[in-house]
Amino acid sequence: MTVTAVIGSQWGDEGKGKAVDYLAERADYVARFNGGNNAGHTVINEYGTFKIHLVPSGIFAKNAIGLIGGGVVIDPQVLIDEIKMLNAANVQVDGRLWVSPRSHIIMPYHKVLDGLYEEAKGAGATGTTRRGIGPVFADKVSYNGIRWTDFTSKAFEERLALQLEVKNKIIVALGGEALSYEKIRDEYRGYYLQLKPYLKELFSLVQDGLKSGKNFLLEQAMGTFLDTDWGTYPFVTASTTIPSAASAGLGIPPRYISNIVGVTKAYTTRVGSGPLPTEITDTKSAVYEQFGEVAATTGRIRRVGWLDLEIVRTAVELSGTTELCLTKLDVLSGLEELQVCTHYELSCERVRYADVDSYGLEQVQPVYKTVAGWREDISQARTFEELPLNAQNYVTMIEEAAGAPVKWIGVGPEREATIRR
């Protein structure tokens, strides 16, 4: 039995979707355990190209069962649309996807409040995905949430009425329009009926799977530095993104997690506000163009930067990463020289990521070393030896600095564009 957690080592969008789709072949269970549809995971395989927000990216593996744990927050319309989209693409989801009734539901007021808080913060806004993530997790931990289990009794109507009484006051005070109880009640009852066939308590299923030696592949959403505790607070997301979240979010005891794959982009990107020490700010530069990406969930342009080894090293230490999956190495092809941040200094003294807060991280001086690049297109390489020597050196530099071996290397967005070492 293996329980493998796939964790992004940076600020999200490291290529977790592709990594999970690639690794799912031998999995019995593929599971999401944190976040919600703020995640956008890209999968490109024989079924097509997908931007997945809630269903585990491993669902394409024929023998795998998909699980959405209680740690995930669910926007029902998004989940329903995603199931339909996958079924239409001949990915059979019915009977192969189970959603924990413990999961909290994103309500219309969560999305409205997410937007109103962002507007109210003005220049200090977090740059959220506006999917209601902060407000729904706030309700979860302040005992104001609504879960799927609430539909099995009168709890849903009672809780909704109470929440709307409170939430409408806040919405109106912030300049928004009050929401209708009846409209939401009917809409969400409809969602419940559509999702009922997928709702199932996961406890026994997970326990039996662990006892009978099944393989679990656990897919994190967001990245290590968007973690509420260890990320660049307050420029973070509302859920835990380090491997411990997999335990709480699925009911898997921590000692069962045997492998931790750190998905690491060969450079750095970030969406939304907050420090990005190695950011390339010259938006007219050729490197900015080359690293450029569009966000899978919101369509925003991702901020880009050079590889930051202090960030990757810290992620490996925090998560106990056992192997790295290096993605997008192909994107660096053609650059004569590459800058790599080896560590940070503040007032000429070395500082670690964890020594400073977000304000401090804006002040640190990233110390760079210049390494030689390569001209060749590497997208067809399928063995490490086929990579140009400078690309090989880039990979070994990362594993030495990070303290974990690079076991997989991505040389293109498609599943097969992967080198296994």
Contacts to Mg ion by CB under 5 A: 13, 40, 296
Residue 251 near which of Mg ion, ligand GDP, ligand IMO, none (CB within 5-8 Å, type-dependent): none
- Which of 303/343 has CB closer to ligand IMO? 303
Verify binding: residue 13, ligand GDP, rule CB under 6 A.
Answer: yes
Residue 38 near which of ligand GDP, ligand IMO, Mg ion, none (CB within 5-8 Å, type-dependent): ligand IMO
The string of DSSP codes covering 202-222 is -HHHHHHHHHTT--EEEEEEE
Among 56, 145, 366, 410, binds ligand GDP (CB under 6 A): 410
Among 4, 9, 10, 17, binds ligand GDP (CB under 6 A): 17
Judge whether 376 and 346 are in contact, CB under 8 Å.
Answer: no
- Which of 223/413 has CB closer to ligand IMO? 223
Among 32, 41, 104, 313, binds ligand GDP (CB under 6 A): 41
Q: Which stretch binds ligand GDP (CB under 6 A): 127-135, 253-261, 324-332, 360-368?
A: 324-332
- List the Cα angle 279/283/284 in 5-degree steps: 135
Judge whether 64 and 24 are in contact, CB under 8 Å.
Answer: yes
**Residue of 21, 28, 41, 110 marked catalytic:** 41
* Positions in 193-222 near ligand IMO (CB under 6 A): 221-222
- Which of 12/366 has CB closer to Mg ion? 12
Verify binding: residue 261, ligand IMO, rule CB under 6 A.
Answer: no
* Pairing of the two strands 323-327 and 406-410: parallel
- Which of 47/181 has CB closer to ligand GDP? 47
Annotation says 41 is catalytic: yes
Q: d(Cα 30, Cα 15) in Å, to the nearest integer?
A: 16
Verify binding: residue 41, ligand IMO, rule CB under 6 A.
Answer: yes
Cβ at position 10, least distance to Mg ion in Å: 11
Helix locations, 63-148, DSSP H? 76-88, 108-121, 133-141
Among 31, 39, 106, 391, binds ligand IMO (CB under 6 A): 39
Among 10, 402, 413, 415, binds ligand GDP (CB under 6 A): 413
Task: List the end-to-end C-alpha distance of the chain, in Å, as a whole number.
Answer: 22
Verify binding: residue 15, ligand GDP, rule CB under 6 A.
Answer: yes
- Which of 263/351 has CB closer to ligand IMO? 263
Cβ at position 275, least distance to ligand GDP in Å: 20
- Which of 202/378 has CB closer to ligand GDP? 378
Q: Is 365 helix (H, G, I), strand (E, B) or coil?
A: strand
The contacts of residue 352 (CB under 8 Å, 6+ apart) are 310, 314, 344
The string of DSSP codes covering 41-76 is EEEEETTEEEEESSS-GGGGSTTPEEEE-TTSEE-H
- List the Cα angle 335/264/243 in 5-degree steps: 170
Question: Does an H or E element contain 310, and which?
Answer: helix 309-319
Count Cα atoms within 13 angstroms, Cβ side, for 79.
Answer: 30
Verify binding: residue 66, ligand GDP, rule CB under 6 A.
Answer: no
